[in-house]
Amino acid sequence: MKEKLEQLFYFGLGSALIAKEKIEQAGASTKGLREESDRKAREFFDQVVAKGSEEREQVKGNIRELLREVVDELGLATRADVAALREELARLRQGES
C-alpha cells in the first residue's frame, strides 16, 4: 500500500513538472511569435513610410513640372527673369548718373 501511495505521489509530481515545462515552452513559443509579429509590423511600417516618402517626392516633381508649364502658358515672369530685369535696371541707373 505504501508503495502504491509513493508511486501515486511521484506520478502526480512528475505530471505537474511535465505540465509546468509544457506551459513554459508554450509561453516561450508565444513570446517568440509575438516578437516576430512585432518585427514584421515594424518592417511593414518602415516600408510604407519609405514608399510614402518616395511618392511624395514624385508628386512634388509632377507639381513643379505642371507649374512650369502653367507659367510658360501664361507668360509669367520667373525668378530668373525678374533677377535679369533688376540687373538691367541697375545698369541703366548707373548709366544715368
Average pLDDT over residues 40-56: 88
> Which range marks the domain in which residue 58 is found?
2-96
CB 71 within 8 Å of CB 78: yes
Predicted confidence (pLDDT) per residue in 27-38, tens digit: 777 777 788 888
Above pLDDT 90, what percent of the chain? Answer: 30
Label residue 65 by pLDDT band (50, 70, 90): very high
Write down the pTM of the prediction.
Answer: 0.45
Number of domain units in the chain: 1
What is the percentage of the chain residues whose pLDDT exceeds 70? 99
Residues in the chain: 97
3-state helix vs strand vs coil in the chain, percent to 5: 95, 0, 5
